[in-house]
């Protein structure tokens, strides 16, 4: 019998499931064929055992590492957002503290000196705040009695006063006629009879209607006589206008 046929019958022979004739033929062949006998022996060999699963000890570590990295990224972004929000709040607070002029200067710190009057009616005076801080803004307020109030205001945080001419320490000029015209432009339809610095009981009177003031010096007239609000200025402008019309 051919080896190929025998190999096909060997499983049945091994399990005792082939016919008597086939068993006899296979046994006759096995007597003279070492290869087929070896194959039959292999059928009795025990099956190889599956290799035991070796636990991957590094797997939990990798899982923990991945989770830690994920949490670290999340924490980084969260921290970055919180830091940005804190910075924005700090910048906003700093801007508000340095740019919002909400705090009036105490009138007790303000001084009005050397008040005098130019020949065209304007009033000169020296304004001074008795501290070392700068001044950025002066607000105006009116009441129904014809009072106008100059109210110097500062931010919560104010820089030091700079060297030289400063709004907190300089010569100023009050033109009542110009003040009245400006007030009318703002919708204040009343005559101004008093001008003050500050408000309340400590307010300082700068000027009142009918006040008798010392005359300004010749140096004052020379320094302040030709200003946009002066009589000399408007007289010259009037002359220029008349000349232009004649031409």
Q: What is the pLDDT of residues 181-227, one digit of tens each?
A: 888 888 887 889 999 999 989 999 999 999 999 999 999 998 887 66
Taking the C-alpha atoms of residue 222 and residue 44, their distance in angstroms, rounded to an integer, is 133
Identify any residues that bridge with 56 across adjacent strands, giving them in sequence order: none
Residue 61: inside a domain, yes or no? no
Query: How large is the average pLDDT for residues 138-154?
Result: 93
- What tokens appear for 19 in the block? 């016919």
Judged on CB neighbours under 10 Å (0-12, 13-18, 19+), 115 is middle
Residue range of the domain that includes 14: 3-44
Does the pTM of the predicted model rise above 0.75?
no
The residues near 162 (Cβ < 8 Å, ≥ 6 apart) are: 134
Q: Residues 26-38: pLDDT tens digits?
A: 788 878 888 888 8
- From 65, 11, 7, select the one nearest 36 (Cα to Cα): 7
pLDDT band with cut points at 50, 70 and 90 for residue 231: low
Taking the C-alpha atoms of residue 154 and residue 82, their distance in angstroms, rounded to an integer, is 32
Residue 237: inside a domain, yes or no? no
**91 and 119 housed in the same domain:** no
**91 and 120 housed in the same domain:** no
Total domain count, the chain: 3
Residue 119: inside a domain, yes or no? yes
Identify any residues that bridge with 141 across adjacent strands, giving them in sequence order: 149
Taking the C-alpha atoms of residue 123 and residue 14, their distance in angstroms, rounded to an integer, is 134
Residue 51: inside a domain, yes or no? no
The single-letter DSSP state of residue 215 is B
**107 and 203 housed in the same domain:** yes
Taking the C-alpha atoms of residue 75 and residue 78, their distance in angstroms, rounded to an integer, is 5
């Amino acid at each position: 019998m051919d080896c190929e046929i025998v190999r096909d019958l060997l499983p049945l022979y091994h399990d005792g499931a082939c016919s008597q004739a086939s068993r006899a033929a296979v046994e006759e062949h096995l007597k003279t064929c070492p290869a087929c006998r070896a194959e039959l022996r292999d059928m009795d060999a025990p099956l190889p055992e599956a290799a035991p699963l070796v636990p991957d000890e590094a797997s939990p570590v990798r899982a923990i590492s991945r989770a830690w990295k994920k949490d670290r990224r999340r924490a980084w972004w969260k921290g970055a957002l919180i830091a940005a929000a804190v910075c924005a709040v700090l910048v906003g607070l700093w801007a508000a503290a340095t740019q919002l002029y909400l705090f009036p200067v105490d009138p007790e710190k303000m001084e009005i000196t050397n008040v005098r009057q130019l020949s065209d009616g304007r009033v000169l005076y020296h304004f001074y705040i008795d501290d070392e801080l700068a001044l950025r803004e002066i607000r105006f307020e009116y009441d129904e009695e014809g009072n106008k109030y100059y109210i110097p205001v500062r931010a919560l945080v104010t820089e030091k006063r700079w060297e030289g001419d400063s709004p907190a320490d300089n010569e100023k000029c009050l033109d009542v006629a110009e003040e009245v015209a400006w007030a009318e432009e703002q919708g204040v339809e009343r005559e101004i009879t008093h001008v003050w610095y500050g408000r309340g009981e400590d307010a300082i009177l700068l000027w009142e209607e009918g006040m008798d003031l010392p005359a300004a010096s010749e140096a004052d007239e020379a320094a302040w006589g030709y200003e946009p609000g002066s009589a000399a200025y408007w007289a010259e402008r009037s002359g220029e206008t008349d000349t232009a019309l004649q031409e």
